[in-house]
Structure 1
Amino acid sequence: MLTAAVALLTLVPMVCVQSQQIGTNVPETHPPLTVQSCTNTGGCQSQQQSIVLDANWRWLHNNGGFTNCYTGNTWNTTLCPNPTACAQNCALDGADYAGTYGITTSGDTLSLNFVTQSAQKNVGSRVSLLADESHYQVFKLKNKELAFDVDVSQLPCGVNGALYFSQMPADGGLSQFPNNKAGAKFGTGYCDAQCPHDLKFINGQANVIGWTPSTSDPNSGAGQAGSCCAEMDIWEANSNAAAFTPHPCLASTQTRCTSPLQCGDGDNRGNGLCDKDGCDFNSFRMGDQSFLGPGKIVDTKQKFTVVTQFLTSDNTTTGKLKEIRRLYVQDGKVIQNSKTNIPGMATFDSVTDDFCSAQKTAFGDTNSFATHGGLSAMSSSFDKGMVLVMSIWDDHEANMLWLDSAFPTSEPASAPGVARGACATDSGVPANVESQSPGANVTFSNIKFGDIGSTFMR
């Protein structure tokens, strides 16, 4: 998933950013969330778990005090003269989930609001599922399926309500990096296949070296380092488009990148540690423009269930990942995924290595998915385990056009693979979306994980 450059709320004297020490000024209480574990023999059993706000959104202040370590999109150079001193001087505090960030839970339902107005404006959020107070829930995906209900009816062009897996460390890096005292309890350790540079702390050190404030986001910027790991995008969507996308990495675990080549920056996009493009299945882009959207086969004006299955070569949890399959359930009806309808391309309805190769050829794209190991590399990442992440965000880099419009804009929309959704190419500008659609929101509910065929009614 593209990394959001989020406009974060700054309560005086608060600022939202990632830290490593633990602050005590604001209590940290994780909102509860019920999820279900399912088997074909025993049905589904409820589990009481919770979510945690990502550390990059939190108030960062001097250890034991109230002085901001980061204000707007710049660092306090006295408290943060270098990466290590900053980690030692600055503390990460608790969060007011509902009041500051618009994050609420009720039973099995999580709602994420786009714009929340409190002392100042907060835009977007990112949360992860916890197993306990100090560890993320780790999922082993092979020969399993994930199902959840989603309501994207209030998500306009340019806003992404995402649910995905990241190969984050289960404890948020607490045991591996001495300067990280906060860990998963405070949402540290984030990584994804974009090797995001906007993270304020990576591996227990502040990302102050080369930090450049964003020109369009008053609360975000980018440092020299990025945080890379494999990513499985289950659901990136708004009411107009949706995609699911595996992103393999050459790195076998969460890795701090420090050079443009490692991070895959600019012209190095296809040669970094991770496959930033991934292999996406977006029904609109794959040639079926009638499948998903308002009033379409999967009607985004109403809630529906998304089912994703991770099939292996021998139908066991130890076999090699061979296919990622998608189903939908709406109004009691199981809806099979759409099929590709691209000239010169065979018919596919799931993600396989053959589909990815055919798609890249048909669209004239570099097959960085294959050079980063394809489904075999994803299989290895799945063996190590993945963390469930849910977010809502707008896109200061590309206005979300890669998801819901024609992209790249330099190519005609009629060219294969360019049209990804019905949104206009001038849509998705963050300043416009934030002012015109502040009430946008996404709701995830009824999250189930278990054996193939165990999580939804047939």
Structure 2
Amino acid sequence: MFPAAVLLAFSFLATAYAQQAGTLTTETHPRLTVSQCTSANNCQQQQRSIVLDSNWRWLHATSSSTNCYTGNSWDESLCPDPVTCAQNCALDGADYANTYGITTNGNSLTLKFVTQSAQKNVGSRVYLLSSDDTTYELFQLKNQEFTFDVDMSNLPCGLNGALYFVEMDADGGKSRFPNNKAGSKYGTGYCDTQCPQDIKFINGEANILGWTGSASDPNSGTGQYGTCCNEMDVWEANMNGAAVTPHVCSVQGQTRCSGTQCGEGDERYDGICDKDGCDFNSWRLGNETFLGPGLTVDTRQKVTVVTQFLTNNNQTSGSLSEIRRLYVQNGKVIANSKTNIPGMATFDSITDDFCNAQKEAFGDTNTFESLGGLAQMGNAFQQGMALVMSIWDDHEAGMLWLDADYPTDVPATNPGVSRGPCSATSGDPTTVESQSASASVTFSNIKFGPIGSTY
């Protein structure tokens, strides 16, 4: 996730958010089949489920249906301070299909962009649960590969269908923070390298201190604290652009930040996490004919995405040294594109050498290297990372960092500025939410296992 305060992008239009577990709506997790492989053509299906992030959920008083949070304001009587608010308020179960446009079918998950029921909901974020249905599945992917199919044919400019990993607590922080009674069963404990400050509850406390409503999103805002952790963006994409991006932090595991630690605004490169990451975006790296409608990787059709996490000794005990990408479409294995930037060596995968060369060629600040690079990303996978899938629009930067020219105040001819073919206004949230309300993304056929076993 690239822009500062990027999670302002999620439009929380269903009044939600909490730390106690409510009982007014039964929480039933949609089932999703995944496969664990041991060798080529030897994969075993596993029954899992998904859970909706707590920030989307209805938040009400524990003893009634009175909202604790309405629009972008907290109820001061229920929430006079962070701890009391967490004790007074409960997040409730979700109607996944009818309220949030989230459906599963066997090994397939579809996320609809806008869903209109009793209220309007925009976007969603879900996590994969383990077999116990109450904790997040944690993936340890060093010397492993992770593969999935994605259909983004209904995902235009300005939207992002994302699949990624973050270093959340398996129980959503329930054991570490006594005021969090809901835990991963209700999707608590989110964190990423943007250190998002729009998360309503962090470390079991309401993020109400310094809360300021968003100027562009009537249902979102930011508080004093953010929530940080290592993040591996395996897939951020729409029909017109895609990026794979590791981000790292100087801390291990979910960590609450404040002030300079969060890296907000002018302090973007002074925080504890690398917000820019080291991205491999084929268009940005000089190949404008590789991925898109009718191109080598044809985004009008479903495509299989293979990501391999190689180590320096080809063992799970080694240090993460390379992230490789392959595609499979219509029975054909497609090698990743190669960089084509003047003055930059040729690369087709993410290594520390690639990251350093890319940062130098584009004139970008290299916090990825200073905060530990691929080795630190490997440390996070060693601990285990939760799988996230989402669909969202961007109230902060219009998703231009993914599919258009960005930043907008420098010439598009400068190396690294052009990231996709979309226009400067294509990601305006008001336009996207009205004109592309029926957009969706489908992830399916998730597989993981040793290198070469999943495709």
Q: What TM-score, normalized by structure 2, do the two folds share?
A: 0.98
Counterparts of 1:3-18 in structure 2, within 5 Å, are 3-10=7-14, 15-17=15-17
Q: What is the CA-CA distance between 1:133 and the residue it aligns to?
A: 2.1
Cα deviations across residues 14-35 of structure 1 (Å, max 9, x unaligned)?
Answer: x222x11110000000000000
Contact kept in structure 1, 2:162 and 2:390, CA below 8 Å: yes
Amino acid at match of 2:317: T
Letter of the 2:196 partner, please give it. P
d(CA) in 2 for partners of 1:315, 1:47: 26
Answer yes or no: is the 8 Å Cα contact 2:235–2:244 preserved in 1: yes
AA aligned to 1:206 is A
Pairing 1:76-115 to 2, within 5 Å after superposition: 76-115=75-114
1:9 to partner: Cα distance: 3.7
- The answer to whether structure 1 residue 191 and structure 2 residue 191 are counterparts is yes
Q: Where does residue 175 of structure 1 map in the other structure?
A: 175
Alignment correspondent of 2:312:
313
Structure 1: gaps of 5 or more residues: none
Q: Which residue of 1 aligns with 2:158?
A: 158
Match of 1:274 in 2: 273
Which residue number in structure 2 is paired with residue 361 of structure 1?
360
AA aligned to 1:407 is Y
1:336 and 2:335 aligned: yes
- The answer as to whether partners of 1:312 and 1:320 remain within 8 angstroms in 2 is yes
Contact kept in structure 2, 1:130 and 1:137, CA below 8 Å: yes
Q: Counterparts of 2:7 and 2:274 in 1: how far apart (Å)?
A: 14
Pairwise CA RMSD: 0.8
- Contact kept, 8 Å, 2:40 with 2:454, in 1: the verdict is no
The alignment partner of 2:245 has SS state of: strand
Aligned to 2:253: 253
Does the 8 A contact of 2:40 with 2:452 survive in 1? no
1:181-227 deviation digits (Å, cap 9, x = unpaired)? 00000000000000000100001000000000011111100011000
Q: CA deviation at 1:92?
A: 0.8
Distance in structure 2 (CA, Å) of the matches to 1:30 and 1:253: 25
Give 1:40 deviation, angstroms. 1.2
- Spell out, residue by residue over 1:226-269, the C-alpha distance to the aligned partner (whole angstroms, 9 max, x if none): 0000000000000000000000110111100011x100111111
SS at match of 2:402: helix
1:445 is aligned to 2:444? yes
Aligned AA for 1:3?
A: L
Residue 120 of structure 1 and its aligned partner are, at CA, apart by: 1.6
Residues 349-388 of structure 1: pairs in structure 2 closer than 5 A:
349-388=348-387
Q: How far did residue 42 of structure 1 move?
A: 7.2
Question: What amino acid does structure 2 have at the position aligned with 1:75?
Answer: W
Task: Name the CA distance, whole Å, in 1 between partners of 2:11 and 2:371.
Answer: 32
Percent identical residues: 68
Give the distance between the partners of 1:410 and 1:451, measured in 2 at CA: 44
Report deviation, 1:8: 2.9
Kept in 2, the 8 Å contact 1:4–1:393? The answer is no
In structure 1, the residue matched to 2:403 is 404
Match in the other structure for 1:137: 137
C-alpha deviations, 1:90-128, integer Å up to 9, x for none?
Answer: 001000000000000000000000000011210000000
Distance 1:374 1:8 in 2: 33
The offset of 1:134, in angstroms, is: 1.4
**Which ranges of 4 or more aligned residues in structure 1 deviate by more than 3 Å?**
none
Match for residue 295 of structure 2?
Answer: 296
Contact 2:41 2:453 in 1 (8 A): no
